[in-house]
Structure 1
Amino acid sequence: MVTTKNAITKYGNLPESARTVPLSDKQLPPEIRTRCIASLMILKNALILGGIDPQLNFLETPNVRREEDELIKGYAVVSSHLFNKSAIDHPKYKDKIYISDPVLEDGQFEKGIFCLPGNHKVLNSRSLDDLKKAGKPLVGIHWSNESDTLAGLGIKEMEKGPTMDCIFRMINAGRADWVPLGFHNSKDLSVQRDGITLVPVKGIKIALTESRHFIVSKGHPDGKRIFEALQKGIKIMRENGLITQLLTQGGFHCRATKDWKIINSENVIAIK
């Protein structure tokens, strides 16, 4: 399996009880509470349900885009991260990777508008027009889904950062005013990184306008077997509600922001 150092570290910090699969839809381990761990455990659980006992051997990469490269070359069989449809549904990948059924449907991955706690101009935004006037957004250089979503709202000027650490530092330094981030299930919904705290604008959020999928290498000798098991397991987990539970606990969905206004709802194909 290919994944990032961050995911490997977080998985390594899980107690053994939280790594056990198959998971029960009655009670999920509370330690599964970040997006990278939720997607990894969806993958691991789906493989078990599909008939494969996964022995996780990690190939570390510096970022998610490098995961694609390793899979295309056949150096790894599957990635633990979820990829948005446009990034992988491309002719150059057609004979290189298998694409799983959607784990996140169009519009299901919601993100908040995060800024520094003292940026009251952004924090006082209650609509898209307010947000446009409040300042410049920042996205990651590989965040094509977020960039396209913001562009669809008429936001053309964006700063871009290479890593999440850089993004937090750029916001802190005033290079940009806000960044779309997934919600964390902390009590105040704040997120911290490298000593920098960002908080969400209350009451508004965006829904990303693409589905997200696992990808499996066609060049790896175990690729077809892994893909078929994964597809079977995803179907079972979809039917028993376990995928939704893991996505919610991991922060792809957030109960605390359920009633917040989606400012790009007209652009979302389907919100489920």
Structure 2
Amino acid sequence: MKCFLFLFLLFSSQLKAQQPLIIDIISSENFSERYTAFLNGRDVMDVTDFNPSTDGSHLEIVEMILLQQALYLGGETKKVVFRPQTWVNSTEFDSLIDGSSLMLARTIWHEDLLDYRGSLYVSDAVIEFGQYEAGLYVSVDNKRAQELKPSELNQLTVVVNPRWHVDWRALVNTPISVISYIGPWEDMLAMVETQVVDAMMINFSVSDHLDLNFEGKLFTPLKKLKVILPDTRHFAVSKAHPQGKQVAQALKRGLKVLTKRGVIKKALQQSGFINQQTIDWQVINQQMIVPRL
């Protein structure tokens, strides 16, 4: 009987050790498919080249890879399984707070995390202050908006969700007319496509001409103009989840290794997130970019 109990406990501990890490991703866009296509059969730890294989935003794919590399380098070797969830694109963190979700595979603005630090482990910054740049994307058919001069930006309307606090704060500190809309990202882009509003702020596409093709509709950024989102971005891990503390500790160790090796900066540059094409573009909310002491 004692032998059976010992074997049972041994088997149970081994089973527990082999349990994968379930990490949530956005379900509204097919990141799983794009992530698999980018890996193209490679092991995550073998990825050293972050140049994109598709157009559009590449940041989410890069973060999924950096997260896994950091966990592994920090000593957490369990397999990661990504679970699509509809709530991930919001700023509501109930699932993280109650422990039903371990963490997200994307970074979160520090400002959105301030009220939840008692319930969440917050990593060091993955995206530093001043690194997050975005363009003002308009429909390619909206010639009036594309021909506006910088001095005429007060004639431009830009839609933004006021619950996206950092986006909202960045835009209201520009001459642009800000239109508030609480709803899906895709609906907002449809408003731009039909020219109900002129533009939407989106981080730059990795295509050669920075254009964004979404479901066959083409959008282009206003040339020579950009907005800097004044905050840092971090991974957040649930304190209530049974794997939370161990994962947060591994993530902290691993991110330090990636930072020291220059991997994070390289990934952001190669992926087009820190975009060399826009390096000399005018920042229209420059007054917000105050160096932190």
| TM-score by shorter chain over 0.5 | yes
Aligned to 1:10: 34
Letter in 1 for 2:170: T
Q: Deviations over 1:102-153 (max 9, x none)?
A: 11111110001110112233213342x42222x2101245422111111122
8 Å CA contact retained: 2:70, 2:255: yes
How many residues are paired up? 265
Please say which of residues 201-210 and 73-82 is displaced more in the overlay.
73-82
* Inter-partner Cα distance in structure 1 for 2:91 and 2:171: 25
- Listed as ranges, the matches of 1:98-109 within 5 Å are 98-109=121-132
Q: Provide structure 1 residue ranges, at least 5 long, that are not aligned to the other structure.
A: none
**Which position in structure 1 is the counterpart of 2:228?**
207
- Paired residue for 1:56? 80
CA distance in 2 between counterparts of 1:38 and 1:264 reads 27
- Equivalent pairs: percent with the same residue? 25
Cα–Cα, structure 1 residues 248 and 197, in superposed 2: closer, same or farther, change >3 Å? same
Compared CA separation, residues 71 and 265, structure 1 to 2 (3 A): same
Structure 2 CA distance, aligned partners of 1:130 and 1:18? 48
Which stretch shifts more, 194-203 or 116-125? Answer: 116-125
Choose the corresponding residue for 2:286, options 265, 268, 272: 265
How far, CA to CA, are the matches of 1:126 and 1:214 in structure 2? Answer: 38
Matched with 1:130 is 152
Residue 86 of structure 1 pairs with residue 111 of structure 2 = yes
Q: Secondary structure at the match of 1:13?
A: helix
Q: Distance in 2 between the 1:97 and 1:158 partners?
A: 32
Q: Which residue in 2 is equivalent to 1:145?
A: 166
Deviates more, 1:100-109 or 1:64-73: 64-73
* Structure 2: unaligned runs, 5 residues or longer: 1-22
TM-score by length of 2: 0.83
Q: Distance in 2 between matches of 1:109 and 1:162?
A: 23
Note the C-alpha offset of 1:170.
Answer: 1.0
CA shift digits 1:46-97 (9 cap, x unpaired): 111111124122232114227733211211212111111111111xx13211
Q: Of the two, which has the highest radius of gyration? A: 2
Amino acid at match of 1:103: V
The alignment partner of 2:90 has SS state of helix
Quote how far apart the aligned CAs of 1:174 are. Answer: 2.0
Among 64, 69, 77, the alignment partner of 1:45 is 69
Checking the alignment, whether the CA contact within 8 Å between 1:138 and 1:159 is kept in structure 2 is yes
Check the 8 A contact 2:52/2:58 in 1, yes or no: no
Q: Determine the structure 1 residue equivalent to 2:120.
A: 97
Which stretch of structure 1 is more off in the superposition, 206-215 or 50-59?
50-59
Q: In structure 1, what is the Cα distance between the partners aligned to 2:51 and 2:158?
A: 35
Question: Matches of 1:218 and 1:162 in 2, distance apart?
Answer: 29
Alpha-carbon RMSD across the aligned residues, in angstroms, is 2.2
**Runs of 4+ deviating beyond 6 Å:** none
SS in 2 for 1:89: helix
Question: How far apart, CA to CA, are the structure 1 residues paired with 2:282 and 2:236?
Answer: 32
- Preserved contact between residue 75 and residue 250 of structure 2 (Cα < 8 Å): yes
2:130–2:229 CA contact under 8 A, matched in 1? yes
Amino acid at match of 1:44: Q
Question: Which residue among 233, 238, 254 is the counterpart of 1:217?
Answer: 238
- Determine helix, strand or coil for the equivalent of 1:137: strand
Partner of 2:4: none
Give 1:30 deviation, angstroms: 4.4
1:121 corresponds in structure 2 to 144
Give secondary structure in 2 for the equivalent of 1:259.
Answer: coil
- Please give the alpha-carbon distance, in whole angstroms, between the structure 2 residues aligned to 1:161 and 1:190: 25
| Match for residue 198 of structure 1 among 219, 223, 232 | 219
1:22, 1:45 within 8 Å by CA — same for their partners in 2? no
